[in-house]
């Protein structure tokens, strides 16, 4: 009884962290330039595969995580400065361009991996197996995801609240025109945010490989998760995104353990409920 509940909560927290890693970048990108990045889920999926490849070539788990983050940051910076920047202000064109990138990444991954799902061959021994304090069983890899997620959340929080660039980002989310008028270089900041956000997605994908496996389906699924989390938490609210990810992940795993039938649609139901009861999201109204 207690052990099931504990496992559900641990799994829920780990899933929350994956949700958070994909949704935080999506939320920042949307908040700053009103860009809906349909390729965000594909960055998550691509990060998973990059990490998988690097780990299977070099055998180093942390190198894989790092490579996924860096590769996605570079790819995102190229996409942003080469394509998206020239179509700013044209919402439909931006949607089409990111869709095109998603289409290319999806089919590229299909070409290489097909319908197979892959996981790491080697991970460090201290995150393998389980911990058993009393009746509770804790999967060490999921614990690792939780720790990683909290570190990243703390890092992004500090970046937003303690650095000058973070100040510009927050100002831009609040009112981008005013931030520009006051002399902030929002364009360069946006490139940075786009790259960092995508790097977080790639890192999330890399972390997911050891638990839910890397497969091509991740792209579209996690794109939807990212959007749902951002809607639940409130557009443009970073704290809201974090709490919404916690809520959604834990609810999903509780359902998965006790009412498996409802686990799949749980996020959808949560999003629909939030939209009906509080359309601006859990913490959306606070900043305005």
Partner 1 sequence: MRNLAKHLKSNSYPLATIGLFFALIPIFFYFNLPFADILTRIFAISIYALSFDLLLGYTGLLNFGQSLFFGMGAYITAYTLNWTEFNFMVALLFSLLVGAILGVILSLIVRRSFKGVPFTFFSLAFVMIILSMFQKRIFRPVSGGEGGILVPLPGILKSIWAIRVFEYGFLGLLAIGLLVAIYKNTRNFSLLQQVPTMLVSSGIIGGIFYFATEHLSYLESAASFERLTANRYYLTLSFLVAIYFLIRRVVSSPVGKVWQSIRENETRTEVIGYNTFNYKLLALAVSGSIAGLAGGLYAPYLLTVSAGNVFDPFITIRALIFAVLGGLGTLKGAILGAGIILLLEHFLNPLIGGWTSILIGIIFIFVVFSMPRGIVGELTVTGGKSFREMVREMVS
CA distances from 277 to 101, 244, 252, 270 (A): 35, 15, 20, 11
- Residue 236 CB, nearest distance to partner 1 (Å)? 14
Q: Which is nearer to partner 1, 101 or 171 (CB)?
A: 101
**Of the residues 74, 96, 151, 259, which one makes contact with partner 1 according to CB under 8 A:** 96
- The interface with partner 1 within residues 15-74 (CB under 8 A) comprises 36
- Evaluate whether 47 touches 55 at the Cβ level (below 8 Å): no
- Interface with partner 1, residue 273, by CB under 8 A: no
Residue window 226-245: x/- pattern of binding to partner 1, with contact defined by CB under 8 A: -xx--x--------------
DSSP-derived secondary structure letter, 138: E
Residues with Cβ < 8 Å from 138, sequence gap 6 or more? 6, 7, 10, 130, 131, 132
Stretch that binds partner 1, among 54-62, 70-78, 152-160, 275-283 (CB under 8 A): 275-283
Q: Which residue has the tokens 């937003």?
A: 160
For residue 226, give the nearest of 10, 13, 30 by alpha carbon.
Answer: 30
- Evaluate whether 10 touches 138 at the Cβ level (below 8 Å): yes
- Residue 105 CB, nearest distance to partner 1 (Å)? 8
Whole-angstrom distance, CA of residue 277 vs CA of residue 210:
37
Stretch that binds partner 1, among 57-65, 94-102, 120-128, 148-156 (CB under 8 A): 94-102
DSSP 63-100: HHHHHHHHHHHHHHHHHHHHTGGGGTT-HHHHHHHHHH
Residue window 108-147: x/- pattern of binding to partner 1, with contact defined by CB under 8 A: x-xx------------------------------------
CA distances from 197 to 1, 39, 40, 232 (A): 39, 12, 9, 19
Stretch that binds partner 1, among 21-29, 54-62, 246-254, 266-274 (CB under 8 A): 266-274
Q: Which is nearer to partner 1, 2 or 276 (CB)?
A: 276
How many residues of this chain bind partner 1 (CB under 8 A)?
35
- Interface with partner 1, residue 97, by CB under 8 A: yes
Stretch that binds partner 1, among 18-26, 54-62, 81-89, 238-246 (CB under 8 A): 81-89
Long-range contacts of 88-97 (CB under 8 A, 24+ apart): 88/33, 91/34, 94/35, 94/36, 95/36, 95/38
Q: Which helix (DSSP H) or strand (DSSP E) does residue 205 occupy?
A: helix 186-212
Whole-angstrom distance, CA of residue 194 vs CA of residue 97:
15
Stretch that binds partner 1, among 131-139, 172-180, 198-206, 269-277 (CB under 8 A): 269-277
- Residue 112 CB, nearest distance to partner 1 (Å)? 9
- Residue 158 CB, nearest distance to partner 1 (Å)? 30
**Of the residues 40, 106, 142, 170, which one makes contact with partner 1 according to CB under 8 A:** 106
Give residues in contact with partner 1 (CB under 8 A).
36, 83, 86-87, 90, 93, 95-97, 99-104, 106-108, 110-111, 220-221, 224, 227-228, 231, 264-265, 267-268, 271-272, 275-276, 279
């Amino acid at each position: 009884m207690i052990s099931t509940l504990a496992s559900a909560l641990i799994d829920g927290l780990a899933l929350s962290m994956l949700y958070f890693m994909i949704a935080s970048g999506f939320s920042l990108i949307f908040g700053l330039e009103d860009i809906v990045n349909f390729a965000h889920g594909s960055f998550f999926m691509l990060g998973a595969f990059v990490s998988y490849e690097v780990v299977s070539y070099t055998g180093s788990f942390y190198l894989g995580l790092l490579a996924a983050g860096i590769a996605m940051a570079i790819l995102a910076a190229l996409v942003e400065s080469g394509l998206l920047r020239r179509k700013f202000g044209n919402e439909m064109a931006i949607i089409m361009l990111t869709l095109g990138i998603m289409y290319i990444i999806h089919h590229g991954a299909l070409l290489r991996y097909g319908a197979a799902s892959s996981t790491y061959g080697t991970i460090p021994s201290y995150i393998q197996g389980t911990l058993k304090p009393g009746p509770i069983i804790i999967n060490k890899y999921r614990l690792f995801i939780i720790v990683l997620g909290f570190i990243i959340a703390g890092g992004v929080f500090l970046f937003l609240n303690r650095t000058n660039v973070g100040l510009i980002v927050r100002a831009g989310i609040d009112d981008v025109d005013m931030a520009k008028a006051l002399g902030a270089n929002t364009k360069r900041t946006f490139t940075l945010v786009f790259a960092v956000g995508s790097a977080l997605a790639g890192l999330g994908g890399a972390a997911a490989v050891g638990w839910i496996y890397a497969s091509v389906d991740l792209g579209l699924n996690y794109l939807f998760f990212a959007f749902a989390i951002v809607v639940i938490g409130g557009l443009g609210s970073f704290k809201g995104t974090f709490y919404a990810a916690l809520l959604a992940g834990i609810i999903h795993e509780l359902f998965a353990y006790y009412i498996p039938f409802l686990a799949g649609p749980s996020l959808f139901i949560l999003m629909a409920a939030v939209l009906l009861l509080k359309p601006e999201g859990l913490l959306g109204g606070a900043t305005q």
